[in-house]
Structure 1
């Protein structure tokens, strides 16, 4: 599964340059050019990381991240900015950013910082996940294996499993699942979700995915 990155940058050329570079490195990039557009994208799609320019139209990167953090959104955020003052950096971290990169910057440095935040949050993109009892999951390939044999997963089953693993031992609400599995123009299906859960339990064991009644599910580590 490709990681999704929100890119808030009002410089059209820089936005496009960063987008093309990250897509070349197998990320999905959602470009936004002002704070309101970025907010709309975040309400439509769950992302894995946010790149936020500070001085953008409508709502600044500072204001956007402060609002998101107050709403409980803890998605990793990196400010990309031309502001160089110590007070600006301090304000960014006080608001809740995870890292800062100053313009002009090398794209390779940006990639290193992105990878560092994603590893901290989700683990390595390349690694498999050891689930015990000779079960291994390869998130990038949507592949589950047991005793060396591949267990095929459908697209939404794999997305759901990846989401549960990323939030292991924590509640994942129905709302978060619907956002991750169904596109904005698709209607979420409770019946289909129950089927996906049933399929995953048949491979992992019923006790590994806990139902939190009327709220969501929780993956239980061994």
Structure 2
């Protein structure tokens, strides 16, 4: 692998978690290990990862609960359940929640690696999309151009990242903290003020189409409709 894949691993059995972490890191992965679901969710909200590997039976928040909350934030990041819960109803529940793969314990590290690479490769193909249609607008990510039949806007890098994130989650409220940690890479007061300014700038550029709107959900975040 030329680019290291960043994995969030949640496993409450410490010895097993360390073995998985060390095995993956020896194969050029970057692994953040969490001992329970609550910590895993906190880490996810503060950093960017390429895939999640979640045990199901964990204290504080189990893997199902973690996956459900993450899917409210991010619909596309690959989620793989790694668990001893092997009943058919558990597998079905996992896929209904939105997991992409399910490995039952005991398992081989080689199988885990192959499945992670497969999931992230598919996700990278999806992420290569460079053009979006938004109402009467066309948005080209590569050139950072927002085009309407009556005007073309050259966006800054941060405007482009912010608009892409809103488009990818169109119709959903994205929490302020998620936007800040994704686009500004921190969620301090000054970044929050900066985000509000950038939202205002995007709104002005999008007002040529009355069906497109960035809605403020007070105390929560923003939602793009159109």
How much has 1:164 moved relative to structure 2? 0.6
1:171 and 1:217 in contact (8 A); partners too: yes
- 1:199 and 2:201 aligned: yes
2:137 and 2:146 in contact (8 A); partners too: yes
Separation in 2 of the partners of 1:185 and 1:30? 23
> Which runs of 5 or more residues in structure 1 are unaligned?
24-28
1:49 and 1:77 in contact (8 A); partners too: yes
1:1-222 correspondence runs (5 A): 5-8=7-10, 10-18=16-24, 31-35=32-36, 37-45=39-47, 49-54=51-56, 59=58, 63-68=61-66, 72-74=69-71, 75=74, 77-81=79-83, 83=84, 86-87=86-87, 90-94=89-93, 96=97, 98=99, 99-102=101-104, 103-104=107-108, 105=111, 107-116=113-122, 118=123, 124-131=126-133, 135-138=138-141, 143-145=143-145, 151-155=154-158, 157-184=159-186, 186-187=188-189, 189-205=191-207, 207=210, 208-212=212-216, 214=218, 215-221=220-226
1:45 and 1:184 in contact (8 A); partners too: no
2:10 and 2:40 in contact (8 A); partners too: yes
Separation in 2 of the partners of 1:179 and 1:197? 15
CA RMSD of the aligned region, Å?
4.0
SS of the residue aligned with 2:126?
coil
SS of the residue aligned with 2:180?
helix
TM-score by length of 1: 0.64
1:2-59 Cα distance to aligned partner (Å, 9 max, x none): 9964223544353244357575xxxxx551142254244135347574211457xxx3
1:130 and 1:137 in contact (8 A); partners too: yes
> Which runs of 5 or more residues in structure 2 are unaligned?
none
How much has 1:197 moved relative to structure 2? 1.4
How much has 1:152 moved relative to structure 2? 4.4
How many residues get paired? 198
Separation in 2 of the partners of 1:3 and 1:198? 35
Separation in 1 of the partners of 2:6 and 2:163? 17
